[in-house]
Amino acid sequence: MASVRGRELAGVTVALVTPFRDGAVDFEALGRLVEWHIEQGTPIISPVGTTGESPTLSHEEHERVIAAVVERVAGRARVMAGTGSNSTSEAIRLTRFAQRAGANAALVVSPYYNRPTQEGLYRHYAALADACDLPIVVYNVPARTGRNVEPATVARLARFPQIVAVKEAAGSLDQVSELVDRTDLAILSGDDSLTLPMLAVGAVGVVSVVANLVPRDVMALVESFARGDLAAAQAWHRRLFPLSRELLSLAPNPIPVKTALELLGRCRGELRLPLESPDPEMRSALQQALTRYGLMGDERG
């Protein structure tokens, strides 16, 4: 079944990092990142998702980042605010805040650590849909949460008009195909390296980590596919794939992408424990990846 809901969330969403300075959120750097994405034409910005280190932000910081991004965007792009939690009441509170702040949608990761049953997952999102009017994107990333949101559960959730899309990061094209077949939700890739294959089976966009670095290139891939230029989409996939793999394989997200942004001079690479800065070997590997892509000059001589 072709996606008919959540069309406004099709295309490219950047999973925005949260810059820190001396342990605090660096709101000045955050504003610069948002302005850069506006200049690049990034259509949707997603603050305080897991790439934005939401698990280590205080509740007050989480809300301030959402509000700051909405204010800085000022209607020039859509804002898909991360509002997930392993507490249903907390997810409701954050989603209601995002709605009051002016976000366009909420990206809600499935509850992590407590490993609910499929019925528990259904009731979690159903409670959100009942409590909030903001469009909701179900974020399925079982490698991080310990539970897969099964297609049958998503099909039940699709009955709620507030639930409009799924960010799918289970790594299974079969699961994506089943979601497309069983629902009318917009399916968004949650894995940069799988964006083109997921588009091929019915996804309509991506929530991208690598778009922190090269949003125009990610947009070119998605737009090439959308206009039926498969050869161009494949060429962009081949170009982006090695960089995407470097960002996914060297260390847990967002360690590599924040380090890459620091190497490019866009913000500090500071992280919060339990995440830690990469060692010199990893920094060197990232620098080489950025150089191969053409984002940095070759400094070997």
Q: Which residues are designated catalytic?
A: 139, 167
| Number of CB atoms found within 10 A of residue 122's CB | 18
Alpha-carbon distance of 11 to 218, in angstroms, equals 9
The number of residues in the chain equals 301
Alpha-carbon distance of 165 to 8, in angstroms, equals 10
**Cβ neighbours of residue 170 under 8 Å, at least 6 residues apart?**
140, 141, 142, 148
Tell me 164's DSSP state. E
Alpha-carbon distance of 138 to 242, in angstroms, equals 28
Alpha-carbon distance of 294 to 150, in angstroms, equals 40
- Regarding beta strands 20-21 and 163-168, do their DSSP bridges make them parallel or antiparallel, or are they unpaired? unpaired
Report the run of H or E that residue 284 belongs to, with start and end. helix 280-293
Mark 226-243 as b/e (b = at least 16 C-beta within 10 Å).
Answer: eeeeeeebeebbebbbeb
Match 């089976």 to its residue by tokens.
201
Q: How far is CA 272 from the centre of its chain?
A: 19
Four-residue CA torsion sign, 186, 187, 189, 195: negative
Task: Please check whether residue 234 is in contact with residue 227, taking contact to mean a CB–CB distance below 8 angstroms.
Answer: no
Alpha-carbon distance of 164 to 146, in angstroms, equals 23
CA dihedral 132, 134, 138, 141 (to 10 degrees): -100
